[in-house]
Structure 1
Amino acid sequence: MNDSIECLKLWAEGRLDVWVNPDNPLRSLSFPPVSKPVKYTLYKDTEFESMKDLNGDGLIFIQSGYNGGFSFGNNLGIKYALKKGDADFFWFLNNDTVVDSNALSCALKIFDDDNKIGLVGSKIKYYHRTDTIQALCGCNKIIPWDNKSFRWIAFNSKDAQNFREGFEIEGALFGASMLARKECLSDAGLFDEKYFMQVEEYDFCFMVRRCGWKIFCCCKSIIYHKVGASTGYGTIKSFFGRKSLRNNFKRFLQTPCLHLRNRFYFTKKFFGTFHFYLFFIINFYLVLRLILGIIVYDDEKFKRIRFLLIAVFDGIRGKMGKPEWINS
């Protein structure tokens, strides 16, 4: 555990400030004039569930003694808001993002167009390259036989005029920013905490679509994503002139390893045993490619291969949740 909750409390009380470079073009968004102190209420874990009345206003901090991952954290917030009962919409927003001043209002307007719209995503740009799109709402295809139109915008795509309007997507939203209607959330249920991290937003969006709700992208809702804040950045490595972006060891465990494990779980959960084994056969080639890439480019080769295979076997046998090896 780190001291992040103490820093948040000090900030709210006006005893701690965050420095932002005056030359940063997003300074006005991440360093707004906020009068201090800011009123806040702090809850420990799920203690709010046993309270009859939740009268807290201002900022609500929920401090958990356990890191259960992306789904676990979101679910804590959902449970609090549902119990308090005064929320019509829920905004799931990564903590390494900076929000455009009109991001929320523009996204909310999309819901007015159709009462069957359950989720709205944002245009995600890089924080350090503000003219470049990281993702236009959607995320990559998880299973090869799902031929829905994802409207995925490749990494490093320059922002263009044809990405100014909103549109419906039939895939999954990028988890950095998702706005949900309360009724949609009631139908689809909470996030599946078995994933820990990776693939959970795809699972959630899949459930939303299965319940008959529509998913939209709002291009006027812009979020700036710092990227790599929790897992670090990759480095470019070369082998006989062929370049490859390689993950550091921590990012390797949290991205390809967990992503692969969780895809096995997702496939069996929604498509059954036959497709599960079909998925395994299809991904046997992918595992071999990952191992070859490790041998050619990476350090700690044996250790990486070992944990990759552990992740695969965990996925096959359905050993989910926070893995024992994640902090290794």
Structure 2
Amino acid sequence: MTVNTGLVTVLFNSESVLPGFFESLSKQKMQDYWLFIIDNSLDDRSYVKAQELIEQYGFKNVTLIHNASNVGVAAANNQGINLSLEMGCEYVLLLNNDIEFNNPGLLGGMLALADARQERMIVPKIYFFDSGKIWCAGGVFNRWIGTTNHTGEGEKDAGQYDKDGYTEYAPTCFMLIHRSVFDTVGIMDEKYFVYHDDTDFVWRAGLAGYKVYYWAAGQVWHKVSSSTGGGTSPFSIYYGHRNRIYFIKKNFSPIHKIVAFTYFYLTRLLKWRLFTKKLFSSFYRGTRDGLKMKP
């Protein structure tokens, strides 16, 4: 069976957010898609919940895979991407399952825009689920310190980011990507495991000449860090630091590396006193392992 779009979502201890995700999908008018659900959870609760919701909403075009181990977000996304491309999908929509959306025309509108404008990468406006404030209305790379910045993050939406246009960076938590991008750029770098894998992908796409189109009328709500324990958990501290170092080593020019690493170490010296013993251990191991990684 050939469908136009492959939807790829990765589960990890996601059972609490799945009802809202499936309800959002069930309301969509556009049905020309195949949903690939890749479960990295170490138990079967997310898998069982996904099965229940698939049956509840009557989803037919769906593949649910439970990996034997947690292979990481990058590798699991690659599973779904490859399955989509093998099925002949023209587009792949990478979407987190901790995201909800209430516009029944969202997917159809996104695809219509891509076709009409021949856009190869499209992202919507993304809000914090809890506060309703803007989480991401596009973004930029900071080539001097190895970070990314979300446009409008934490701001109330007063229409200040309602203009469509190209943006240098956006996360892939809800990104429509044409198959030609994967043909040219490749898929996710699985060395990242989690965090910065999408940053690296968008960076490589930009180098290849692809632009991310920001669609302001497309709106979704994101339960940020729902599966990783938040930005200050030991897990997030470890992978955040490890992968930032790897991203800099892999992608930056010599002069940018010098500046980025100088900034990194100076700011860590200022922040290390804020770490608990457990968090400092995660920071230390993340930094050590990042320096060991070879691009």
Normalised-by-shorter TM-score class: 0.7 to 0.9
Aligned to 1:53: none
User: Are the aligned partners of 2:146 and 2:260 in contact in 1 as well (CA < 8 Å)?
Assistant: no
Equivalent-residue separation in structure 2 for 1:106 and 1:80 (angstroms): 24
The unaligned stretches of length 5 or more in structure 1 are 15-33, 40-57, 235-246, 295-300, 321-328
Cα RMSD, aligned residues only: 2.5
Superposed CA offset, 1:16-66 (max 9, x none): xxxxxxxxxxxxxxxxxx4x4x33xxxxxxxxxxxxxxxxxx111122112
Q: In the TM superposition, what is the alpha-carbon distance from 1:289 to its structure 2 partner?
A: 2.1
Question: Equivalent of 2:113, from 110, 114, 127?
Answer: 110
Question: Equivalent of 1:93, from 92, 95, 109?
Answer: 95
User: Are the aligned partners of 2:147 and 2:244 in contact in 1 as well (CA < 8 Å)?
Assistant: no
Equivalent-residue separation in structure 2 for 1:74 and 1:319 (angstroms): 22
Say which SS state the counterpart of residue 161 (structure 1) adopts: coil
Q: In the TM superposition, what is the alpha-carbon distance from 1:12 to its structure 2 partner?
A: 2.5
Superposed CA offset, 1:139-187 (max 9, x none): x645426899x671122x11122322311012x2123211101111211
Which protein is bigger by CA-based radius of gyration?
1
User: Are the aligned partners of 2:245 and 2:291 in contact in 1 as well (CA < 8 Å)?
Assistant: yes
Equivalent-residue separation in structure 2 for 1:144 and 1:279 (angstroms): 5
CA 1:97/1:82 → structure 2, altered by over 3 Å: closer, same or farther? Answer: same
Determine if the alignment matches structure 1 residue 253 to structure 2 residue 203.
Answer: no
Q: In the TM superposition, what is the alpha-carbon distance from 1:188 to its structure 2 partner?
A: 1.1
Determine if the alignment matches structure 1 residue 2 to structure 2 residue 43.
Answer: yes
CA 1:276/1:164 → structure 2, altered by over 3 Å: closer, same or farther? Answer: closer
Say which SS state the counterpart of residue 223 (structure 1) adopts: strand
Q: What amino acid is the match of 2:178?
A: R
Question: Equivalent of 1:270, from 248, 251, 256?
Answer: 251
Aligned to 1:192: 189
Equivalent-residue separation in structure 2 for 1:313 and 1:192 (angstroms): 20
Q: How does 1:142-161 map to 2 (within 5 A)?
A: 143-144=143-144, 152-155=151-154, 157-161=155-159
Equivalent-residue separation in structure 1 for 2:146 and 2:229 (angstroms): 31
Q: What amino acid is the match of 1:315?
A: G
Say which SS state the counterpart of residue 252 (structure 2) adopts: helix
The unaligned stretches of length 5 or more in structure 2 are 1-41
Question: Equivalent of 1:59, from 49, 57, 62?
Answer: 62
User: Are the aligned partners of 1:166 and 1:219 in contact in 2 as well (CA < 8 Å)?
Assistant: yes
Question: Equivalent of 1:125, from 124, 127, 152?
Answer: 127
Q: What amino acid is the match of 1:12?
A: I
Determine if the alignment matches structure 1 residue 78 to structure 2 residue 63.
Answer: no
Equivalent-residue separation in structure 1 for 2:181 and 2:70 (angstroms): 26
Q: In the TM superposition, what is the alpha-carbon distance from 1:225 to its structure 2 partner?
A: 0.9
Q: What amino acid is the match of 1:68?
A: V
Say which SS state the counterpart of residue 120 (structure 2) adopts: strand
Determine if the alignment matches structure 1 residue 286 to structure 2 residue 267.
Answer: yes
Determine if the alignment matches structure 1 residue 315 to structure 2 residue 290.
Answer: yes
Equivalent-residue separation in structure 2 for 1:145 and 1:67 (angstroms): 30
Aligned to 2:54: 12
Q: What amino acid is the match of 1:182?
A: R
Say which SS state the counterpart of residue 227 (structure 2) adopts: coil
Q: How does 1:129-140 map to 2 (within 5 A)?
A: 129-130=131-132, 132-138=133-139
Question: Equivalent of 1:228, from 219, 225, 229?
Answer: 225
Superposed CA offset, 1:262-286 (max 9, x none): 1211112122556444432221112
Say which SS state the counterpart of residue 162 (structure 1) adopts: coil
